[in-house]
Amino acid sequence: MLATVIHAARDIRVEDVPDPQLSTGGDAVVRVVAACVCGSDLWPYRGVTPTREPHRIGHEFVGVVESVGADVRQVQPGDFVIAPFYVCDGTCANCRNGVSTSCLQGSWWGGDDRVGGVADGGQGERVRVPLADGTLFVVPGPVADDEVPGLLTLSDVMGTGHHAAVSAGVGPGDSVAVVGDGAVGLCAIIAAKRLGATTIIAMSRHADRQALAREFGATHVVEERGDEGVAAVQELTGGIGADRVLECVGTKESMDQALRSARPGGMVGYVGVPNGGPELPIRQMFNRNVGVNGGVAPVRGYIGELLRDVRSGAIRPGLVFDLELPLTEAAEAYAAMDERRAVKVLLRP
Amino acid sequence: MLATVIHAARDIRVEDVPDPQLSTGGDAVVRVVAACVCGSDLWPYRGVTPTREPHRIGHEFVGVVESVGADVRQVQPGDFVIAPFYVCDGTCANCRNGVSTSCLQGSWWGGDDRVGGVADGGQGERVRVPLADGTLFVVPGPVADDEVPGLLTLSDVMGTGHHAAVSAGVGPGDSVAVVGDGAVGLCAIIAAKRLGATTIIAMSRHADRQALAREFGATHVVEERGDEGVAAVQELTGGIGADRVLECVGTKESMDQALRSARPGGMVGYVGVPNGGPELPIRQMFNRNVGVNGGVAPVRGYIGELLRDVRSGAIRPGLVFDLELPLTEAAEAYAAMDERRAVKVLLRP
């Protein structure tokens, strides 16, 4: 079968690889209907994180179950499933606490699979899914093709944006500033609106993303950064800053922007993968009682509640996909996102 | 009148200073019934923070109102009052949001008073209180002398321990680890129990403080630090770490202990004044979804609810005072706390 392999920075290839085989009794093989490229895939693509040897890449996909191991109970061949961007058993203490990204048996697509050999990446024709019962979410009933993009966002970006909002404690009537206008930041806007925020400030400098931000519920757009960005947020929030700030980038600059855009007593919900830092300035946080909460989003636990709103059309996160390519053109998908020609690319095997 | 003045590291003097005078219309003069020394007073005492010129010191006191300015409405002569460790108006946007330590008109005892000249410190015979209506909390009815220590804790340490617990989101059934066995850490144990925690782990190496911790509600004591301390907390919490950790020290080591003692998805509530750092390791926090929330505690807003439990005897934070001295012996009070001969010293003018 075909699958995407990263060999080095800017060297993405779609190669013929062995077909996945059931091996543990608790696993499943899924035929991928759609996969996509994540902003965090760009770190190795850009060489910011090193690629020491060629390996599978991609961690967001939806598909149809082809076969399951003898011990699988919740999933059966023919099911349309959403895979979160990680593997989890759903039963350990951390999973029960809602932190399935810290599953005691968990693993990552394309990384080591603790229970059955090297894991496939998500960008391929098929994927062997370890711990299928805990990992895969079965979408009930028939799935129309135009539902696929929306469902695919539940694999990562919509759940991750939601996690930023939940971690920040967004509630009815809140003012919320969103730092980052990538797919996660845009989904964080959807999440903030869904949770009742009434002032939603998108910090964005790209006209097309600003338009999507407004469509998703942003009430204001701030283009400024740094001190001017802070001042602009304060002006929109009675002079004190936003109740909640959603940090969806992961750089030192974006976290600084987030912390300073929060009002005293406010909370920053962060989901941007911290890229080699930053370290948080605790004295500044202490003096203003600004908290920081979040991390790698346990999206598996959010799929159920978000799925209802996606299928009803109440939220439309699938709009973040502005380019669709065949899997064989994965290299172009990476380039398009790297060069900001696309917000997010959907790949069809 | 007499008041405590710090001249330099380890140079605390009780000196004759001018009597305070009403000056703004919104202020009050309070005769101090009891004051105390705070752990954070030890930073200048030890020279960790420099004392550039002699100034008043002390920020926790209770007393009786002697006179009020023409505009004061909530406070009158003869009232027994609790002063929080800062000045606030109670009406600005930040005060209304429950973050009175970020009051837009606020100031600090012994520092600059924005609305009426240099502020008194709390360790003196009398104190001029700017913004008396917002700052002072009137204790209803007669106050017995043996109630004074408990009431005095509402000026800072009990409210600060409570803030750690509230910031960490302590709730019924939670497991809580408390880092720090000073007066604030001990009060944090009281707060955790009061909010329903069922496993409360005091991290303490001092027998007398361990005993008080257990009296306040600690179910376990951990003496180990570092990796061994983390392992001990995990062993008491099903192998994963505490739901909530209350950081009540403010050093790099204590925050590290707190972050690592929390379970994935847990929250650190911190109130230890960060002493020149530490910077928080965001990648470690991100990977485990451990949040950090807290800061300089807005205790003024907590006095009402805590006062009920102090007066009913449901909580007994006054027990943190293990030494009482006349104001004239303030220098000995600082030395006793510095040398850990006392947990917390109460001063009587």
Tens of pLDDT, residue by residue over B220-268, are 999 999 999 999 999 999 999 999 999 999 989 999 999 999 999 999 9
Number of H helices, E strands in chain B: 12, 19
What is the average per-residue pLDDT within A136-156? 97
What is the average per-residue pLDDT within B95-112? 92
> First vs last Cα of chain B: how many Å apart?
10
| pLDDT, tens only, B157-168 | 999 999 999 999
Chain B: give the shortest CA distance to residue A103, in Å: 9
What is the average per-residue pLDDT within A293-297? 98
Task: Tell me, yes or no, if B167 comes closer than 8 A to chain A by beta carbon.
Answer: yes
Q: Do domains A2-156+299-348 and A161-294 have the same CATH topology?
A: no
The CB density around residue B132, as the number of other CB atoms within 10 Å, is 29
Q: What is the mean pLDDT of chain A?
A: 95
Please report, for residues A19, A21, A81, A109, B338, the alpha-carbon distance to residue A127 in angstroms, rounded to integers and kept in the order given: 9, 9, 12, 9, 62
Q: How confident is the model at residue B116 (pLDDT cuts 50, 70, 90)?
A: low
**ipTM of the predicted structure?**
0.95
Chain B: give the shortest CA distance to residue A17, in Å: 31
Does the pLDDT at position A158 exceed 70? yes
The pLDDT value given to residue B12 = 97
Compare all CA atoms of chain A with the CA of B168 and give the residue at the minimum distance. Answer: A291
Compare all CA atoms of chain A with the CA of B269 and give the residue at the minimum distance. Answer: A291
Q: Which of residues 64-93 of A touch B (CB under 8 A)?
A: 93
The CB density around residue A307, as the number of other CB atoms within 10 Å, is 18
Instruction: Pick B158-294's CATH classification: 1.10.645.10, 3.30.420.240, 3.40.50.720, 3.10.20.30.
Output: 3.40.50.720
Q: How confident is the model at residue B295 (pLDDT cuts 50, 70, 90)?
A: very high
CB contact under 8 A, B283 and A293: no
What is the average per-residue pLDDT within A96-103? 98
What is the average per-residue pLDDT within B103-127? 83
| pLDDT, tens only, B176-200 | 999 999 999 999 999 999 999 999 9
Collapsed DSSP state (helix, strand, coil) of residue A132? helix
| pLDDT, tens only, B43-91 | 899 998 899 989 999 999 999 999 999 999 999 999 999 999 999 999 9
Chains A, B: CB contacts within 8 A come to 132
Q: What is the mean pLDDT of chain B?
A: 95
The pLDDT value given to residue B137 = 98
Chain A: give the shortest CA distance to residue B307, in Å: 23
- CATH class of domain segment(s) A2-156+299-348: alpha beta
Task: Tell me, yes or no, if A157 comes closer than 8 A to chain B by beta carbon.
Answer: no
Task: Tell me, yes or no, if A2 comes closer than 8 A to chain B by beta carbon.
Answer: no
Q: Which residues of B touch A251 (CB under 8 A)?
A: none
List chain B domain ranges.
Answer: 2-156+299-348, 158-294
The pLDDT value given to residue B332 = 98
Does the pLDDT at position B277 exceed 80? no
Mutate to test the interface with A, among B293, B296, B299 (most CBs of A within 10 A): B293
The pLDDT value given to residue B345 = 97
Q: How confident is the model at residue A111 (pLDDT cuts 50, 70, 90)?
A: confident
Chain B: give the shortest CA distance to residue A278, in Å: 6
Does the pLDDT at position A134 exceed 70? yes
What is the average per-residue pLDDT within B124-135? 96
Give the closest of B93, B265, B282 to A240, CB-based. Answer: B93
Chain A: give the shortest CA distance to residue B163, in Å: 10
Strands A55-56 and B323-326: unpaired
Residues B301 and B310: their CA atoms lie apart, in Å, by: 15
CB contact under 8 A, A264 and B240: no
| Residue in the block written with tokens 């699938």 | A318
The pLDDT value given to residue B273 = 83
Does the pLDDT at position A242 exceed 80? yes
Collapsed DSSP state (helix, strand, coil) of residue B7? strand
What is the CATH topology of the domain spanning A161-294? Rossmann fold (3.40.50)
> pLDDT exceeding 90 applies to what percent of chain B?
91
Q: Which of residues 236-275 of B touch A (CB under 8 A)?
A: 238-240, 255, 263-265, 267, 270, 273-274
The pLDDT value given to residue B274 = 84
Give the closest of B101, B279, B293 to A293, CB-based. Answer: B293
Torsion angle (degrees, nearest 10) of CA A328, A331, A332, A334: 130
Residues B168 and B297: their CA atoms lie apart, in Å, by: 13
Does the pLDDT at position B156 exceed 70? yes
Provide Rg for chain A, Cα atoms: 20
The pLDDT value given to residue B272 = 87
Helix, strand, coil percentages in chain B from 3-state DSSP, rounded to 5: 35, 25, 40
